[in-house]
């Protein structure tokens, strides 16, 4: 068999390597090749001494309809605009300059709240029912207070705010107990206090804990002190910097290379309130198609359609659920975007039809670099219409990427975005279901900074201003492709890069991570902060992209990865795995590549994700409506518990499930902190624990520590091989009842946008414990969708044996197994070994269903039981 080779440029100062790959053996990887390539343009430091000397002063005041305008010294002016009762916008700019906003802001039509103005000789205050914005006049400075007069946040008056050599900056006071979250995609700890961060979208292949610049720019953060939260969004797309008490415990500051000083301030006091307000400002994600939240399989190096079909067949043969496969650049004709290579398949439509018959959707990669190749239709059309980004002299900018010399669409122009959207037709017509935007920093191989010169033109902007928004506008165009070419089909656009607001158009994966334990440990705090930055649909390459994981690492990563919003196994083509020119391509990271034990573990946890699909899908619906993260740090729900403020390796999956991945090599147990104020139930054993303590969970290779917040209803369904395999006829309500529980379940077709026209059902379930009786009711508030649901299986965990079950005069029949309950309406079963009651309730039941027990509820703390 002919040896297959690939080439990849690894970054500044490295020659292009032609590498063939060999064995799936991580030990073959030389440590010297583990490069976190992150070369960028030099940083622009802020001259703090010059900032200290500036001291802007108020010269005059004008109260306007939505706030106040100040004329300042040094030919500056300031605007304080009240957007809502708890959101204000602060801008400082040159006199006569128009206030700008980036496309991150999707809501600029808030109704100005009622406010009072109080002015003294030295201050002016704007007060709503929720906050007061107090402005000091000499020198100019801004202070935010809550309705009780407590200071939430204030400028540091030693340095203040303004411009230093055209760099906009703001200094803020802080205290030692203040924590900081958000900032989008960053390496390191959840709490960003003490960190020095930068935002400049960067091709950070094989990044590690010390890599400063990653793929996204989301200049939004949350401050938490004295159990009260606020948020700041710095609406500036230029390269920016954040010194979060990294130089002093008394202040933090942020600044940008250029652009205007303009930021939004939102007061909580709950973190959830802040995230909600930020999501209202910048928009929420769209409701995803169900297949997009299933498992995806990918590899850079699936070279033919037949190879991918074989992967899909093997998933089906092994009964391991799968919903998506990704087509990397191998599917193209010479890396030309929106083409099909004959070496990949001569009949792409037949290939996609094959996948569709297997219940698998395809996602095709899209790179923005268009090969400079007369006769290639994309190059010819773009050249004829002058669609390319240009050099200062007006000629198209040419840079080297995968196809060789390439030109780049000017996504700042609407006509270019429309053309790009229409250009998806070649792959959509062949049956592709989703788009995967890659290389969209934009990456360039033949420059030391790995991107374009700063003076390349995009619309009326220079690349220095547009760079961080390049992927945002590309995603906007890709999203529009669905509107044009797949009307009424929900879009799925995956992107490597983002700006604030990109969640409206795309899903984020966190780029080219590595197959290391360190990289796995980076994933949870990174995802948690991305989620609190308004991007709920986020995930990491399971198993790591660069190199290959050991069987143990793959098993632990997959356990965690199925509880991450976007769940995709992905790997590179082996070029960094073994530098052996005589080696053959190594396999991908499919679950069966790591032995029978790891395959069985993988199947168990992938099936668990599919059991939880009703719960997960409803979490995504909430995310699309409110911006609620699907993956949440513990502090998001439990900010009053200070022990949650710095927890890196735990998260909430939706509102009810606490996940504590094992992230240390060789570990067989895990210390898990359970937040105070709740009772927590071990998902696998049923053991109950009081919150406010750390418990040690034994965790062999097949066990992921997983806990349920008592009082929760967690809807399940039977396992499917893909999300559209079987209709949902029986919904399992996995209930951990204390005194009362409630859950609102939404159902729609999972694929179209008909829900926007009201075609969905919304049902609220309530359970109440009254002495020796548990009462269950369901109330369908909206009923506009033709559902296949026939019954609910009420699963009551940790309960005594029921004496009887009855709805008005209808007596339920006792049957012999949980499976028989699911098949038999008006029936119940008691699993004595696991102390669990199952009740089948018809969906059309209008009466209270009462479960009568012989005794009052018993506590089950410190009592282990098997999970059914």
Q: Which residues are catalytic?
A: 438, 441, 512
Residues near 735 by Cβ (< 8 Å), separated by ≥ 6? 712, 713, 714, 741, 767, 794, 795, 796, 797
Token pair 């976190």: residue: 36
Contact 568, 541 (CB under 8 A): yes
- Give me 364's structure tokens: 């095709």
Residue 170 tokens, joined: 């703001």
Sheet arrangement for strand 399-401: 370-371, 404-407, 399-401
Dig out the tokens for 238 from the structure.
């230029």
Identify the CA nearest to 57 among candidates 135, 117, 137: 137
* Cβ 273 vs Cβ 300: under 8 Å: no
Residue the block writes with tokens 């032609």: 18
Task: Determine the 3-state secondary structure of 572 from DSSP.
Answer: coil
Secondary structure, 3-state, 265-313: EEECCCHHHHHHHHHHHHCCCCCCCHHHHCEEECCCCCCCHHHHHHHHH
CA distances 302 to 308, 330, 558, 760, Å, are 6, 7, 21, 39
CA 472 to chain centre: 15
Look at residues 560, 555, 589, 591 and name the one whose alpha carbon lies nearest to residue 572: 589
d(CA 724, CA 721): 8
Backbone angles phi, psi at 79, to 5 degrees: -130, 130
User: Roughly how many angstroms between the first and final C-alpha of the chain, as a whole number?
Assistant: 49
Provide the strand spans (E) within 298-367.
324-327, 361-366
Report DSSP letters for 19-65, one per residue.
E----S-GGGS-GGG-------SPP----HHHHHHH---EEEEEEET
- Residue 408's closest CA among 462, 496, 332, 470? 470
Q: Identify which of 467, 505, 495 has the alpha carbon closest to the alpha carbon of residue 198.
A: 467
Question: CA triplet 28, 665, 675: central angle to 5 degrees?
Answer: 150
Q: How far apart are CA 672 and CA 659, in angstroms?
A: 9
For 270, 398, 446, 560, 846, the CA distances from 404, given in Å and listed in that order, are 50, 10, 10, 38, 67
Pairwise CA distance, residues 735 & 34, whole Å: 47
| Chain position carrying tokens 């109704």 | 111
Alpha helix ranges (H) inside 593-681: 596-611, 613-626, 634-637
Map tokens 């010059």 to a residue: 50
**Across-strand partners of 410?**
none
Number of residues that make up the chain? 868
| 3-state class (DSSP) for residue 551 | helix
Question: What ranges in 724-847 are assigned the alpha helix state H?
Answer: 818-823
């Amino acid at each position: 068999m002919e040896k297959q080779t690939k080439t990849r440029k690894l970054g500044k100062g490295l020659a292009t390597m032609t590498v063939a790959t060999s064995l799936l053996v991580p030990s073959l990887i030389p440590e010297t090749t583990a490069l976190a390539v992150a070369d960028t343009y030099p940083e622009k430091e802020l001259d703090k001494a010059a900032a200290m000397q500036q001291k802007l002063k108020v010269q005059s005041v004008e109260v306007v309809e939505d706030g106040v305008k100040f004329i300042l010294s040094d030919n500056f002016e300031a605007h304080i605009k009240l957007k809502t009762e708890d959101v204000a916008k602060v801008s400082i700019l040159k006199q006569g300059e128009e206030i700008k906003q980036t496309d991150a802001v999707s809501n600029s039509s808030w109704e100005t709240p009622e406010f009072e103005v109080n002015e003294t000789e030295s201050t002016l205050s704007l007060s709503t029912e929720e906050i007061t914005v107090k402005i000091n006049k000499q020198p100019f400075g801004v202070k935010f207070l809550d309705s009780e007069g407590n200071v939430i946040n204030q400028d540091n008056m030693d340095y203040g705010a303004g411009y230093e050599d055209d760099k906009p900056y703001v200094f803020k006071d802080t205290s030692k107990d203040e924590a900081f979250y958000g900032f989008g995609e960053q390496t390191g700890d959840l709490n960003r206090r003490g960190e020095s961060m930068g935002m400049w979208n960067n091709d950070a292949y094989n990044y590690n804990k010390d890599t400063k610049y990653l793929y996204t720019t989301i200049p939004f953060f949350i401050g938490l002190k004295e159990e009260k939260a606020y948020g700041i969004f710095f609406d500036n797309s230029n390269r920016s910097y954040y010194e979060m008490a990294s130089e002093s415990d008394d202040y933090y500051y942020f600044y940008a290379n250029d652009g205007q000083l303009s930021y939004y301030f939102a007061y909580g006091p709950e973190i959830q309130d802040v995230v909600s307000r930020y999501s209202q400002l910048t928009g929420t994600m769209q409701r995803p198609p169900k297949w997009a939240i299933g498992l995806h399989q990918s590899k850079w190096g699936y070279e033919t359609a037949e190879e991918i079909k074989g992967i899909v067949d093997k998933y089906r043969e092994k009964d391991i659920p799968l919903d998506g496969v990704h087509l990397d650049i191998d599917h193209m004709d010479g890396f030309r975007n929106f083409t099909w290579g004959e070496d990949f398949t001569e009949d792409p439509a037949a290939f996609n039809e094959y996948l569709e018959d297997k219940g698998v959707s395809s996602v095709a990669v899209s790179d923005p670099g268009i090969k400079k190749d007369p006769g290639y239709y994309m190059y010819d059309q773009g050249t004829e219409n002058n669609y390319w980004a240009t050099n200062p002299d007006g000629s198209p900018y040419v840079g080297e990427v995968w196809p060789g010399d390439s030109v780049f669409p000017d996504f700042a122009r609407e006509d270019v975005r429309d053309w790009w959207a229409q250009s998806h037709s070649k792959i959509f017509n062949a049956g592709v279901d989703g788009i995967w935007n890659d290389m969209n920093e934009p990456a360039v191989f033949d420059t030391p900074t790995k991107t374009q010169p700063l003076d390349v033109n995009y619309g009326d902007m220079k690349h220095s201003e547009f760079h961080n928004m390049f992927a945002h506008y590309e995603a906007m165009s890709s999203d529009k492709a669905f509107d044009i070419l797949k009307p009424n089909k929900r879009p799925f656009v995956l992107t490597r890069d983002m700006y604030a607001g990109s969640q409206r158009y795309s899903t984020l994966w966190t780029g080219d991570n590595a197959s290391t334990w360190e990289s796995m440990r980076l994933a949870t705090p990174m995802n948690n902060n991305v989620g609190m930055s308004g991007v709920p649909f986020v995930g990491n390459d399971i198993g790591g992209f660069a190199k290959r994981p050991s069987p143990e690492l793959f098993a632990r990563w997959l356990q965690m990865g199925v509880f991450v919003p976007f769940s995709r196994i992905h790997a590179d083509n082996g070029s960094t795995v073994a530098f052996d020119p005589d080696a053959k391509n190594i396999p991908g990271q499919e679950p069966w590549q790591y032995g029978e034990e790891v395959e069985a573990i993988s199947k168990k946890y992938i099936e668990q994700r599919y059991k939880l699909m009703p719960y997960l899908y409803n979490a995504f619906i909430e995310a699309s409506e409110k911006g609620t993260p699907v993956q949440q740090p513990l502090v998001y729900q439990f900010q009053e518990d200070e022990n949650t403020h710095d927890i890196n390796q735990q998260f909430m999956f939706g509102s009810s499930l606490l996940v504590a991945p094992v992230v240390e090599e060789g570990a067989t147990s895990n210390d898990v902190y359970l937040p105070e104020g709740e009772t927590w139930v071990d998902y696998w054993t049923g053991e109950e624990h009081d919150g406010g303590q750390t418990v040690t969970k034994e965790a062999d290779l097949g066990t992921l520590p997983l806990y349920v917040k008592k009082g929760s209803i967690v809807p399940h369904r039977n396992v499917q091989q893909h999300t559209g395999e079987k209709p949902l006829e029986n919904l399992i309500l996995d209930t951990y009842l204390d005194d009362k529980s409630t859950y609102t379940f939404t159902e729609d077709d999972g694929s179209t946008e008909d829900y926007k026209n009201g075609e969905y059902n919304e049902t609220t379930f309530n359970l109440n414990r009254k002495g020796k009786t548990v009462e269950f009711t369901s109330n369908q508030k909206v009923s506009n969708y033709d559902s296949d649901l026939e019954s609910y299986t009420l699963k009551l965990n940790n309960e005594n044996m029921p004496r009887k079950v009855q709805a008005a005069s209808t007596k339920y029949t006792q049957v012999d197994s949980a499976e028989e309950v699911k098949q038999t309406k008006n029936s119940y079963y008691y699993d004595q070994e696991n102390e669990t009651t199952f009740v089948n309730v018809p969906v059309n039941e209008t009466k209270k269903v009462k479960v009568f027990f012989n005794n009052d509820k018993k506590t089950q703390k410190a009592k282990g039981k098997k999970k059914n």
